A and B are shown apart, each in its own frame.
Chain A
Amino acid sequence: MRTVEEVVSGVFGVERGSIDESSCPETVDGWDSMGHLNLVLALEENFNVSIDIGDVMEMGNVRKIRQILLEYGVRS
């Protein structure tokens, strides 16, 4: 299982080192609405969960993603 940072860097094709807790749509190239969908699909696959749409909307940065995944019982 990859970390959230690894999933994010993989989805947007950027260097792993450039992604941190505060990375968000404003700081990552390609993280637009379609990119966000792809990210959610990749997170679901990687952590084997199905994420509620309300939660999807809340996933504004890497830190938030990790918090929400915790609610699904995922420690990342």
Chain B
Amino acid sequence: MRQRVDHGLKRDADDAEALRLLYRVLRETGRTVEAHDLLNHLVEVDPSAATATFAHRERSKLGDAPGRPVRIALLSSYVLDPLIPFLDVECRRAGLASTFYVAPFNQYTQEVLDPSSGLYSFGPEIAFVALDLEDLFPAVRGVPSVDELARSRDEIRGTIATLVRELHARCNALIVVHELALTGWSPHGILDNRRGDGLSRWTEDLNRDLAEELSAQVHTFLLPLRQVLGRAGTERGQRRKLHYMARMRHGDAALRELARYSMRYVKPLKGLTRKCVVVDLDGTLWGGVVGEVGPEGIQLGPTAPGAEFVDFQEALLNLTKRGILLAICSKNNTDDVMPVLREHKHMVLREEHFSALRINWRNKAENLAEIAEELNVGLDALVFLDDNPAERALVRQLLPEVLTVELPRDASQLRATLEDLTDFELLALTREDQLRVSQYQANRRRQALERSSGSLDDYLHSLEIRAEIARAAPHHVPRLVQMFNKTNQFNATMRRYQAQELARFVASPDHRVYVLEVADRFGDHGLVGAAIVLEEREAWRVDSFLLSCRVMGLSVETVLLKRIYDAARVRQVPRLVGEFIRTPKNGPTADFYRRHGFRLDGDTDGAQAWILDPRVDRIEDPPWIAVKATGE
């Protein structure tokens, strides 16, 4: 059977009809996982609404979907159900097993206001609020007066602000509100943008109001619907027909773009943001083979062929501004490449922009695995860009966790292909993200120092580590969200708190949230440690304790733990309880409490409680760290 399926796939890989036939065979023989895979392949071959709908329907029959679950709610003033098959496809591609909730037609307000509504019992992790401008303000179909426009602008802002506030009060979902868009041309024609009651400027102002309103709230975003629709083409004919027939607004090209864009919110929420782009050189960063034509012979410069590559390099450089790392993996001689990286006058990317280099003739899969190790990121944090289909096929097969992008043969499409990827989004840009690229450079200098130091102790002393511990304030929340959702190795309980929960802990009188910032002579690490302590009557419970892998091995965790211990000792708290929950990834945390003199006081299914008596036991700061504690 396997053979028959593989054979069929080879022969008819692009024939949707044949894929459907194969799919039925898999389904009927109970091979669920392969059937799910084949549905992914089918919607790639045939991206129509019909096929997406078919795939979505079949998945609900198949059950047992592989992947991490994600719960998505849609709240809309129009029929948005047809988005679900497209969104489902995108989630499956990202390895997520999605479930959806759609508020009953045009009952979004009731659903949000009623605490016992279906929406809240579904418990969404992310909620999309898609309201149509004509539904909120029917007069916009005619010629509204200046007064009407001003009034409705305030009303709409108020309506949406209230919805978002009520949603936040009742659930922890990330909220994504669609921009409001005009349909069709203005009734004022070409005079529209010359008039006080012109609609295009009014719509701009309205959306700017919304952006302002929403950016003031945590975990709330405004989706640039007008850009998304513009990309798809507004397809007015089809939209109008869908509107009359089914109270829908968007045709399938628009829905496909919308689903794709929506993943820019889903992926970072689920911790699927990629951290490092590994690029090939010849044919990828420039045209031609440098080993054959020399540094002056490659295609790279202000005119095409060559300008496409300058453009592409600029887009890669832009990624580093939000903390995405770059690395090189190229089959080349270092001596051929370095003159280009260092001296070619049209190179946008220079040696210092790359956090790891693998320029050799070895297998690229091995090189990628080494890069991940060197940068201390998982393979699932890598994106691989290479113009050579054979290299891509090899990496896809050997390292399926790496995102290997299908690069176009046409270099003029390189930049757009990169910018279309939805894998580099951050829900907040923190100081730590902006510091990241320079931090990896500092790391190289630290490693050089470590190699030249006589002993580990010498090394640690010569680093001149400074640690600062404070109680968390609201402005720390975005970075805390990142820490709680990305930290795997040094994370005692792996509790994945989101912004709202963390904001609540920070404000709560029963919780102590601590943050740790670390710097050394080579640079600033930023906020790299956090702990949540729950004050109970007879004990303080360390609910979460985590440390970025960047600063593991320096004993800065001891400084943070000591601060908690100090506070407990001053209050004569009889028991300090450290919780530890074993997961496949947090091995490095397993002996954390033991190392600091805690005693095991219970172990059920890998969930352990470690205790210490602050009145009697002692914790000491490591002598190589200068500690500063602010606040209480």
Binding site for B on A (CB under 8 A): 9-13, 15-16, 30, 33-35, 37-39, 41-42, 50, 53, 56
Contacts and interface: CB of A to CB of B under 8 A. Distances in A.
Interface stretch (B50-58, B308-316, B429-437, B498-506): B50-58
A28 to B, nearest CB: 12
Interface string B517-559: 0000000000000000000000000000000000000000000
Nearest to B245: A53
Instruction: Identify which of A12, A16, A37, A42 gathers the most chain B CB atoms within 10 Å of its CB.
Output: A37
B156 interface: no
Interface stretch (B108-116, B236-244, B578-586): B236-244
Contacts of B51: 10, 13
Given A30-B57, A41-B238, A41-B252, A12 B50 contact: yes
Given A35-B50, A41-B50, 8 more contacts: A10-B50, A13-B51, A15-B21, A30-B57, A37-B245, A38-B48, A38-B53, A53-B241
Contacts of A33: 246
Contacts of B21: 15
A50 B237 contact: yes
A56 B245 contact: yes
B153 interface: no
Interface residues of B, number: 27
A53 B238 CA distance: 11
In the A-B complex, list the 9 residue pairs whose CB atoms are closest, starting with the nearest.
A11-B50, A13-B54, A38-B50, A38-B49, A13-B20, A42-B50, A53-B245, A37-B246, A38-B53
Nearest to A56: B245
Interface string B36-54: 0000000000101111011
Given A30-B53, A38-B49, A50-B237, A13 B58 contact: yes
B132 interface: no
6 contacts: A10-B17, A11-B50, A13-B20, A30-B53, A41-B49, A41-B238
A56 B241 CA distance: 10
Contacts of A35: 50, 53
B81 interface: yes
B16 interface: yes
A34 B49 CA distance: 10
B82 interface: yes
Nearest to B84: A34
A38 B246 CA distance: 11
A56 B58 CA distance: 26
> At the interface, is chain A mostly helix, strand, loop or mixed?
helix
Contacts of B251: 41
Contacts of A10: 16-17, 20, 46, 50-51
Interface string B58-88: 1000000000000000000000011000000
Contacts of A41: 48-50, 238, 251-252
A68 B53 CA distance: 25
A37 B242 contact: yes
A30 B246 contact: no
A10 B16 CA distance: 8
A13 to B, nearest CB: 4
Nearest to A29: B57
A10 B57 CA distance: 14
A30 B54 contact: yes
A34 B53 CA distance: 9
A34 B242 CA distance: 11
Instruction: Identify which of B50, B57, B242 gathers the most chain A CB atoms within 10 Å of its CB.
Output: B50
A16 B24 CA distance: 13
B244 A53 contact: yes
A40 to B, nearest CB: 8
Interface string B593-608: 0000000000000000
Contacts of B23: 13
B298 to A, nearest CB: 44
Given A37-B242, A41-B252, A16 B17 contact: yes
B247 to A, nearest CB: 11
A11 B50 CA distance: 5
Contacts of B53: 30, 34-35, 38
A53 B54 CA distance: 24
Nearest to A13: B54
A9 B20 CA distance: 10
Interface string B17-32: 1001101100000000
A55 B58 CA distance: 29
A42 B49 CA distance: 9
Given A11-B50, A12-B54, A13-B58, A34 B252 contact: no
Interface in B191-230: none
Instruction: Identify which of B20, B23, B244 gathers the most chain A CB atoms within 10 Å of its CB.
Output: B20
Contacts of A9: 17
A37 B53 CA distance: 11
A27 B301 CA distance: 62
A18 B108 CA distance: 41
Contact of B81 (A11, A34, A50, A53): A34
